[in-house]
Amino acid sequence: MVEALGTSPEDVDLLAYHAGLSLDGFSLGYAGSDATLDEAFKAMEAASARLPSHPRVQFVDGLLALVTGELSRAGRCGRETRRLSAGDPATAANGEWLITLVTDVDADGCIQVATDADADALPGWINHPRFLACCRKSDYEAALSAAIRFGMPDFFWGPLERAAALGQLGLRRAAHAEVSRVVQLNPRFARDPARFLTRYIPSSDVSQHVREGLEKAGLGTRVV
């Protein structure tokens, strides 16, 4: 990505993707310093200055707002992403994903919007808002179903959601296996789970459901 930007430093798509990848490095623990968040903001600032009405720019800007706790702005970016999707279901689903994370609208929206797309081509994380909505209602069987659809076994959020749902359902052996997988994939999670949970669970009430499930799964008092 850095090499590509060196060749095309004003390419809006590349700048937005670079901002997104830098943000991932910060919020998902792939890199350990705030410098990656600074890099994300710098790339986003450059992209927004060139073409603020680009749907990818709006979506990544919304992700930055989500991570920094600016939930109203994240919702606005989600609505803009949806508006600018130009009939592309996957892009519209990205917008719906942001909206449903920061509002009380039906979490099925981001899934329904994408039904015209190739479902197999959509990322598993598109199911994340549905998982959170089910946790909010204490419907842990439905939360587990959403977590299973999340899939992505080599990404710690997948087993994290399954561990939380299984823990709340009292299926401790399966839950413990999933939480062990979380720690294997991201050892830093056990040391500071709140750092990671707060990135993509804006509601403290919903976060408590997830934390309790992880505690029951065996993460113990380290979940704070």
> Which has the higher per-residue pLDDT, 173 or 28?
173
Q: What are the sequence ranges of the domains in the chain?
A: 1-105+114-122, 123-224
Compute CA distances 132 → 188, 206, 210, whole Å.
23, 7, 8
- Angle, to 10 degrees, between the axis of helix 55-67 and the axis of helix 193-200? 140
Distance in angstroms (rounded) separating the CA atoms of residues 173 and 196: 24
Tens digits of residue pLDDT in 145-189: 999 999 888 899 999 999 999 999 999 999 999 999 999 999 889
Domain spanning 123-224: CATH 3.30.310: no
Compute CA distances 182 → 3, 189, 207, 212, 224, whole Å.
32, 8, 17, 15, 16
Tens digits of residue pLDDT in 58-106: 999 999 999 999 999 999 999 999 999 988 888 988 998 999 888 765 5
In the CATH hierarchy, which top-level class contains the domain 1-105+114-122? Answer: mainly alpha
- Angle, to 10 degrees, between the axis of helix 89-102 and the axis of helix 71-83? 160
Three-point CA angle 17, 21, 25, nearest 5°: 165
What's the pTM?
Answer: 0.84
Q: Do domains 1-105+114-122 and 123-224 have the same CATH topology?
A: yes
Count, residues in the chain: 224
- Structure tokens, 84: 């600018």
User: Please, are residues 71 and 65 in contact by the beta-carbon 8 Å criterion?
Assistant: yes
User: Please, are residues 96 and 78 in contact by the beta-carbon 8 Å criterion?
Assistant: yes
